[in-house]
Amino acid sequence: MAAATVQRVYDVGILLYPGADLLDFTAPHGVLSHVSYNNNPAAPDRVFSIRLIAAHEWITASDPVTVKRHISITDARKELENFDILIVPGGPAPAISGVVNANGPEYEFIKSFIHESRNEERILMSICSGAFILGATGVLAGKTVTTHTMALEGLRAICQKATKDFGGGQTKVMKARYVDGGVTKSGMRIITSGGIS
């Protein structure tokens, strides 16, 4: 008799910040929460374990909807090595600027995730204008990336500034639904998307 196969559960963190676009984090959450190994909706054997990460217990997203986090940024940082995937949603320009310009806890968390060494490949994914936050960290240097079609020039400018600040190659910003930018030297797969809808 063969031993039962243990299915891997991938740990996903969705990073929230004040003003994050509601659709940009609820859509990936909704899709990933329905993926199961056994295709049994009554008793799913889930592929992904998803946690909302935020600096504050309650986050007012866009539209305005208030959402309760699952885990604080401080606690998530303590178990950073456990996260296989980090999703960074987009938001309106003032919300993105609040994260990037303040070098806030969300920005620092992303940088920690990028630099956390691990033997397995990880995924860092942005939805829509969440690419601006990734671009500001310098992780998009030398990659091909995308964002919302109305924000391509803005992303290009942020990536050029980050290249000056952190070094790295020229970032190619293109109009696309999504772009798999490849794997960084540290084993981080970079995926950016043009938006949810």
Give, for 172, the enclosing helix (H) or strand (E). Answer: strand 172-173
Work out whether the CA dihedral 76, 79, 80, 84 comes out positive or negative. Answer: negative
E strands of 47-142, at which residues? 48-54, 58-60, 66-68, 71-72, 85-88, 122-126
d(CA 125, CA 15): 11
Which is the catalytic residue, given 52, 85, 96, 128? 128
Structure tokens at 169: 């190659």
Q: How far is CA 83 from CA 87, 92, 96, 116, 132, in A?
A: 11, 26, 23, 10, 21
159 is catalytic: no
Q: Coil, strand, or helix at residue 14?
A: strand
d(CA 62, CA 197): 16
> Which residues carry out catalysis?
128
